[in-house]
Amino acid sequence: MDVFGELEKDRFVVRDIAYHLLRVVRRAYVHCQYWNRIEKKLRNEKNISGLDYEHILGRGMHEKETEVLMKRRQDMVVQDFMENMISPIVPQEIRKTAEVKFLHFAEQCAEIIWWMCVQNPAMHLEYLHDRISGQSKVHIFNSDHYRPYLKSGEFVDFCVWPLIRLHQDGPILSKGVAQGMNK
């Protein structure tokens, strides 16, 4: 059973499950963007020894070496994410089985989102209003951008999954998922 099913067993309602899982995705995205910005700054600077970071990281390295280095950086970012960003947001009310699934979900999100952020240009996640952002604006349900979750409607009740773009303001790779409602 996946994390969603485990949280349902703990009597979480769909809206709260979506909130907790989307919160993980958003934190992973912000965390990976942060580390990617740091890495880009390092690439553009020379370190104290005068070695060009870009040369060390890729140019002049064989493809296999670059791949190994990228995997190591991903492991470091994911480990930092799990240690510093996830423990504060694990729902207090969940059983150990659900917590294990929740943590596994968080780790997988961070791994995938890291690869999205290191693309050139970086892929972009786009969110609607929800409890995470605190926005209270009501959105008209745009079926070009979002698929309905359990209910369709004229307006968005809550976001279940973000829209994914090839890059910021770029074409849509995957529609988001949102719960519809009628006023």
pLDDT tens column, 102-116:
999 999 999 999 999
Q: Where are the alpha helices (DSSP H) in the chain?
A: 3-9, 14-44, 53-57, 63-81, 96-117
Each domain of the chain, given as residue ranges in start order, spans 1-121, 123-183
Q: How confident is the model at residue 134 (pLDDT cuts 50, 70, 90)?
A: low
Contact of 107 with 82, CB cutoff 8 Å: yes
Q: The tokens 């912000």 sit on which residue? A: 30
Q: How confident is the model at residue 54 (pLDDT cuts 50, 70, 90)?
A: low
User: Which residues partner with 120 through β-bridges?
Assistant: none
pLDDT in tens, 73-85: 888 889 988 888 8
Q: How confident is the model at residue 49 (pLDDT cuts 50, 70, 90)?
A: very low
- The conformation of residue 90, written as its DSSP 8-state character, comes to S
- The conformation of residue 177, written as its DSSP 8-state character, comes to E
pLDDT of 62: 62
3-state secondary structure of 158: strand
pLDDT (mean) for 131-136: 53
Tell whether the model's pLDDT for residue 156 goes beyond 60.
yes
Amino acid at 66: T
Cα angle: 125, vertex 16, 123; to 5 degrees:
5
- Cα–Cα distances (Å) from 167 to 9, 58, 77, 103, 172, in that order, read 37, 23, 21, 28, 9
Is residue 85 packed enough to be buried (19+ CB in 10 Å), middle (13-18) or exposed (0-12)?
A: middle
